[in-house]
Amino acid sequence: MERLRAVLLEYRLPTSAWAEILMALFFLRNRSPTADGTSTPYERFYGKKPDVARLKVLGSPAYALQPSGTYIKLGPKTVLGTIVGYAASGHAYRIRSSATGNILVRRDVVADETLPVTPVTPSALPVCLYLPEDWPSDDTTVSDADGNGGDGDVPGGDASDASSGDTAETASTGSGNDSNGGGGGSVLVKDPPAGRTDETSQAITPDRSAPDSDGSVPVRAADAGHGYFLRHRADSDKPGHAAMAANAVLESAPPVAMTVAEAVARHDWRATTPTTRAEALARPDAYLWQQAMDAEIDGLRKANAWDLMDLPPGAKATGGRWVFAYRRDADGRVTRYKARFVAQGYTQRLGIDYNDVWATCPARETVRAVLAMVAAYDLEMHAIDIHNAYLNAPMDVPVYVRQPEGYEGGTDRTVARLKSALYGCKQAGRLWGIHTHGTLTALGAVRSQADPTLYTCVHPTGVTVTIVVHVDDMAITAKTLAAVVSTKQAILAVYKGRDMGAATTFLGYKVDRDRAAGTLTLSCPGLTVALLEQFGLEAARPKKLPMPANTVLLRTGEQLLPDSRPYAELVGSLLSLSTSTCPDIAYAAGLLARFMEKPEEEHWRAAKGVLRYLVGTTNLGICYRGKEELAGAVDADNGGCRMTRRSTTGWVFTWNGGAISWTSKRQPMVSSSTAESE
C-alpha cells in the first residue's frame, strides 16, 4: 500500500486508478530481484529470465495509435494518456486516456519518460524530533559528511533512536529536505523550547531567516517536507533539484476568469464534461466550473437542505459526489456550466435509508401527443423551470450524507443529515412527485388516468388548461394566454422557479412553431450536435441512409474492440435519439444494441455510419400540422436476425400529420412463417 500511495501521489493519478497501479506494482515486483539478488520471482516460477526491455515508467505520458477507422481524415491519429500498467503478456501497455479516463490496451505506444516528476505536497504536519543532548544546539545546518541527507549517522544513535525520546510536547518543525529525500537532507537545529526541563533531548525547529552555509535561505516551514531523514536518491545530485525541493509545496494558480463563450472558443475546450471535482478544477475553464459549484452550494444552503451533525453511533453515511454538465440551447450551443451535488444512492439500504422508489415520469408519446394537439388547435404553450425541485420535498427517513468535496466543515465525523430530498437519493424522485401532485391537486388540477404526469384543470374563464410535468420542467398549454399566465403564477407562488415564456425548448426538444402556417416542428439538434462533437464527427461527410438495406451484422468473435465503453455510450445515445425525434434511425439503433457485449470493429463502423447520417439530418424533425385522425401502420420481417432466427417488428402511429409513437424491436420468440411474425 505504501508503494501504491507513493505512485498515485507522485504522478498525480486519481484514486480511481488504484487497481491498475496495484496490478502494475505486482507485475514489476515479480520481475524485480529478490532479497538475495540471485533471481526474480518470475524466473523461479517459469525457469527463464523476464524480458524487461519494454518496461516504461509508470505515470509517464503516452501516445497510443488509434485503430484505423476510428478517427476522421484530418483528426489526430493518437490518443494521449498515462501509462498505468502492463498487459498480462507484458508486450502491451495499459493506458489511461486523458480525455475519457478509460483504460486502453495498446502495443503501439510512444512514452515520454523525460518529463520531471511534480513534487508531492505533504498531507501531514512535520514531525517534531527531540534529539540527544550531544546534538549541536547552535543555529547551524547539520548534514552528513557526504551531503546526501539521511544516510549519515545520527550522533548518539541512528535516526530511529533520535526520534524515540520524550515527545510530550509538540512543536512546529520543518526540514530542508524535500519529500523525495533530495536537496541534501539538511535540518535546522535550534535550542530546546523555553521551560523544557528534559536534559536528554532538544527540539528541532526551523530557522526562517538564517542562510545555509552556501548562502541560500532555508526553506520556509510551510514549504518544507515532513522532516524525516530520507534515503538519498541519485537524481538529488542533478542540477535544479534543490530548487525543486524549495518549491515542494506548489500553490495552484487561481482560475482565469472567462465567459462561457470565451471558454468554448478556446482550442483546448473539451466537449466531454469532467467526472470529478479535481478534473474540473484542472481544466482551463476551471473558473466556470468553480462558479457552478459555488452556485449549487449556495442553493443548497438557501434551501436549508441539511443540518450538520456528528454521525450517530450505528448509522451509516451515504456518499456524495459532484456531477457536471453543459446546458445547451435548442441549437446545441453551450449556454451555461452546471454542477450538481448528488447523493450516491446506490449505497442506501432498503428499509433503513429508503422504502419505495417508484416515481412518475412522462412517456415521450404523451409529450408528442400534447405538442400535436398544440399545433392542431393553435394553443398557447409556455414552460417553467423549478429551481432545485427535489429540495422542495421533505425527506421521509433519516439519511446522512458526507459533505460536498471542497466545502467540508466541522470534524471528520461531521455529516449532513438531509432535511429535503437530495438529488441522487433513491426516494428523491418519488418524494418530489408526491409533493408536486399535492400542489397541483390543491390548485384544482386532475391527474390523467393514462399518464400520471399529465394534469388538466379548468380555468375560471372556462378554458381547459393542460400541464405536463417532467421532474423540474413543466409545460402549460391552454387556448388563451390569460389562462396560461394565471396557472404559471399559481405554481410559481408555491415553488421558486424561472418563467421560460413561450416554449421554444422542452425536455431537450426544440419546438419550432409557425403559427401562420399552423405547423409545429419537433427536433433535437442540440443533442445531435453534442453527440457528433463527442465522437469527433461534426465535420464528417454525411450519408444518405443510416444503414444500407439488407445490412447483416453478426458476432464473429474477431476484431474485438479493446474498450467497449465508447460503443455502449454511442449506441445508448442513438437509442435515446431514436425514441425522441428520430424514428428514421430506430431500426439501426435497435440492431446495433444487440452487440453491446463484446462489440467488434464492424459494429463500430456501422454505428459511426449512423452518426454520419445524422450529420446531414441534424435540423430535421417531426412536423405536426392540421387536424388528422389517429392512424397506424405495422410490419415485420420473417427471421431477419441471422443469429437467433427471430423476426423484427416495427410500427408507427401518427396524429395531426406527425408521428407520436413508434418502435422497432426483435420479437421474443421464433416465428415459423411470415403470417405468424406479423
The Cα–Cα gap between 605 and 306 comes to: 49
pLDDT of residue 200: 36
pLDDT of residue 53: 77
pLDDT tens-digit series, residues 350-404: 888 888 888 888 889 999 999 999 999 999 999 999 988 899 999 989 999 999 9
Looking at CATH, the fold of the domain delimited by 2-111 is given as SH3 type barrels. (2.30.30)
pLDDT of 632 higher than 90: yes
Residue type, 500: M
Collect all residues with Cβ–Cβ distance below 8 Å to 386 and sequence separation of at least 6: 392, 472, 473, 474, 495, 496, 497
Which regions of the chain carry the CATH code 2.30.30? 2-111
Of the candidates 185, 259, 168, the one whose C-alpha atom is nearest the C-alpha of residue 219 is 185
pLDDT tens-digit series, residues 524-540: 888 888 898 888 888 88
- Better-scored residue on pLDDT, 57 or 254: 57
Of the candidates 97, 530, 100, 426, the one whose C-alpha atom is nearest the C-alpha of residue 276 is 100
- Check if the beta carbon of residue 451 is closer than 8 Å to that of residue 369: no
Cα–Cα distances (Å) from 375 to 213, 356, 669, 671, in that order, read 86, 38, 40, 41
Pure H helices in 581-639: 586-592, 601-616
Residue type, 162: A
118 confidence band (pLDDT: 50, 70, 90): low
pLDDT of 665 higher than 50: yes
95 confidence band (pLDDT: 50, 70, 90): confident
Mean pLDDT of 151-163: 40
Q: How many H-runs (helices) and E-runs (strands) does the chain carry?
A: 16, 27
pLDDT of residue 562: 86
645-671 CB burial, b ≥16 within 10 A, e <16: ebbbbbebbbbbbbbbbbbbeebeeeb
The Cα–Cα gap between 109 and 11 comes to: 19
Percent of the chain with pLDDT over 70: 78
| pTM for the full predicted model | 0.59
pLDDT tens-digit series, residues 434-452: 999 999 999 999 999 989 9
Cα–Cα distances (Å) from 179 to 57, 186, 190, 539, in that order, read 19, 12, 22, 48
pLDDT of 228 higher than 70: no
pLDDT tens-digit series, residues 1-54: 778 888 787 767 778 788 888 888 888 888 888 888 788 888 888 888 888 877
pLDDT of residue 548: 87
Task: Name the region of 507 (left: φ>0; alpha: ψ -120 to 50; beta: rest).
Answer: left
